[in-house]
């Protein structure tokens, strides 16, 4: 039987990779199979933060519905707003949504 939370050398799980790539249906399947929603990789990133850094709005909404920690920060203290603002494809609508979720816009990284 496959381990849904198996990790690579960077401590990244399949859920991290699916969130980063924007594969919402795969994110749902992994969560249904028991994947750890708050798993952290070596950089302290959760799947929520990975979805934010690639501006994956659909995945972010799925993770919110599953009660992801929207206030999570990575190992350098960056939150979802900070990571999303650095994404190539970020939209004002995504930033507005993160702010609606009470993710601070005035956090300072490490």
The reply to whether 32 falls in a domain is yes
How high is the mean pLDDT of the chain? 93
Q: Rounded to an integer, what distance in angstroms lies between the CA atom of residue 10 and that of residue 42? A: 5
Residues of the chain with pLDDT under 70: 1-2, 108-110
Q: Return the pLDDT at 66.
A: 96
The reply to whether 106 falls in a domain is no
Q: Which domain holds residue 40?
A: 14-100
The reply to whether 9 falls in a domain is no
What CATH number is associated with residue 58? Answer: 1.25.40.20
Q: Rounded to an integer, what distance in angstroms lies between the CA atom of residue 28 and that of residue 68? A: 13
Q: Return the pLDDT at 15.
A: 97
Q: Rounded to an integer, what distance in angstroms lies between the CA atom of residue 86 and that of residue 69? A: 20
User: What is the tally of structural domains in the chain?
Assistant: 1
Q: Return the pLDDT at 68.
A: 97
The reply to whether 5 falls in a domain is no
Q: Return the pLDDT at 109.
A: 64
Q: Return the pLDDT at 74.
A: 96
């Amino acid at each position: 039987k496959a381990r849904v939370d198996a990790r690579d050398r960077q401590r990244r799980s399949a859920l991290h990779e699916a969130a980063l790539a924007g594969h919402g249906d795969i994110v749902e399947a992994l969560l249904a199979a028991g994947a750890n929603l708050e798993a952290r990789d070596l950089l302290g990133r959760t799947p929520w933060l990975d979805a934010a850094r690639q501006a994956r709005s659909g995945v972010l909404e799925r993770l919110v519905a599953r009660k992801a920690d929207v206030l999570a920060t990575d190992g350098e203290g960056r939150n979802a707003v900070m990571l999303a603002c650095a994404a190539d494809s970020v939209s004002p609508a995504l930033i507005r949504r993160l702010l609606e979720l009470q993710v601070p816009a005035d956090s300072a990284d490490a």
